Amino acid sequence: MKSIVIQQPNALVIEERQIPQPAAGEVRVKVKLAGICGSDSHIYRGHNPFAKYPRVIGHEFFGVIEAVGEGVDAARLGERVSVDPVVSCGHCYPCSIGKPNVCTTLVVLGVHRDGGFSEYATVPAKNAHPIPNEIPDEFAVMVEPFTISANVTAQVKPTEQDVALIYGAGPMGLTSVQVLKGVFNVREVIVVDRIPERLDMALRSGADRVINNASLSLIGELETLKIKPTLIIDAACHPSILQEAITIASPTARIAIMGFSSDPCQISQQGITSKELAIFSSRLNANKFPIVITWLKEKRIDPAKLITHRFDYQQVVKAMEVFEKDQTRCCKVLLTFNE
Ligand code: NAI
Ligand code: MN
Ligand code: ZN
């Protein structure tokens, strides 16, 4: 089989490898589609602190089960599945309270262990989530990015009364817009970014208002509009954003961060306590595949609005380049694995 391997930072090769045999409790998935995510690019460029090389990247993938390991029901052969990249021990403290996404021995497919940019991948059977027939392949491959928003919203519990503000109109900001509007019916969703084309995508994904903070001050603009967000999601993740979010937040607002920067950021206690703000963080997803699959079935979210490019996996270098350089036109780039 062919696998997309990052041998070391900046060295991507399509390597011939042995088709893997599923171990006990695993299935082998014949991959049909995979999505490129920022973290794939970070591993490729040597900017991911968790990655070990060589690595088959890819943690957003969909395919068909075509072999099962010992102890896995053979009835699963032929099942269409989306794969949850979060592999956890099942018994540590976070696992025991339903947070396998922060398992003390967390393994993420495509980061700590070989992932889905490959013609075949072996994964734990319980990570392979069946996809109902009415959900098309291209939607199934988009489950993982929506689980990130499902995890964020599980933390901050949006309500219909919220006035939400999302920093960033990249894939993470846009999935969050769709979830806030389509699933939680949030009254008003405002998206802030510096790229006009991305703000247009936010409007197409259901945002009620967009603000370009390259040309004007967000704090000033919200004051003029008399808007105090009650829910803020930082899907841009610059370390300076948290203090600004604290400043613009309504009393008793919830703020969610999801960035991994190791740079310090300066925040004041007063800004948080005086308004009794709640600050949440969110990493990957805690068992959110089933709920996102339900949202897809109920057509509450629409991945089609986010898919901008498709490439054969053999064109992966080009696909990565487009993904990294063309932020004005690019959102989700899919890789297709055909016969
Ligand atoms: P992206 O880079 O495509 O999008 C980020 C957007 O934020 C860009 O459009 C950029 O113009 C905008 N932006 C940057 N600074 C800004 C600012 N100060 N104000 C307003 N807009 C600003 O990235 P993507 O894929 O959407 O991911 C967003 C972030 O989420 C990344 O930092 C990524 O590491 C993080 N992430 C976290 C996950 C988690 O589980 N915690 C999972 C996936 C991504
Ligand atoms: Mn992803
Ligand atoms: Zn664990």
Residue 129 Cα to ligand 2 midpoint, Å, equals: 16
Ligand at shortest distance from the CA of 96? 3
Q: What is the number of the ligand 1 atom nearest to the C-alpha of 198?
A: 9
Q: How far apart are CA 305 and CA 226, in angstroms?
A: 31
Q: How far apart are CA 170 and CA 257, in angstroms?
A: 15
- The reply to whether ligand 1 has any atom less than 6 angstroms from the CB of 171 is yes
Q: Nearest C-alpha to atom 37 of ligand 1 is from which residue?
A: 258
Does the structure show a pLDDT above 70 at 195?
A: yes
Contact 103, 310 (CB under 8 A): no
pLDDT at 338: 85
- The reply to whether ligand 1 has any atom less than 6 angstroms from the CB of 169 is yes
Please state, rounded to an integer, the average pLDDT across all residues of the chain: 97
Residue 245 has φ and ψ, to the nearest 5°, of -60, -40
Question: What is the arithmetic mean of pLDDT over 160-181?
Answer: 98
- Is the complex ipTM more than 0.85? yes
Residue 84 Cα to ligand 2 midpoint, Å, equals: 10
Residue 306 Cα to ligand 2 midpoint, Å, equals: 13
Q: How far apart are CA 239 and CA 120, in angstroms?
A: 38
- The reply to whether ligand 1 has any atom less than 6 angstroms from the CB of 35 is no
User: Could you give the strand order of the β-sheet that contains 2-8, starting from the edge strand earlier in sequence?
Assistant: 11-16, 2-8, 55-56
Residue 226 pLDDT class (50, 70, 90 cuts)? very high
- The reply to whether ligand 1 has any atom less than 6 angstroms from the CB of 30 is no
- The reply to whether ligand 1 has any atom less than 6 angstroms from the CB of 148 is yes
Q: What is the dihedral of CA 203, 193, 49, 320, to 10 degrees?
A: 60
Does the structure show a pLDDT above 90 at 339?
A: no
pLDDT at 22: 98
pLDDT tens for residues 255-291?
999 999 999 999 999 999 999 999 999 999 999 999 9
Does the structure show a pLDDT above 70 at 239?
A: yes
Q: Nearest C-alpha to atom 14 of ligand 1 is from which residue?
A: 236
| CB burial string 225-252: b at 16+ within 10 A, e below | eebebbbbbbbbbeeebbebbbebbbee
pLDDT tens for residues 37-56?
999 999 999 999 888 999 99
Whole-structure pTM value:
0.98
Cα dihedral sign for 67, 72, 73, 79? negative
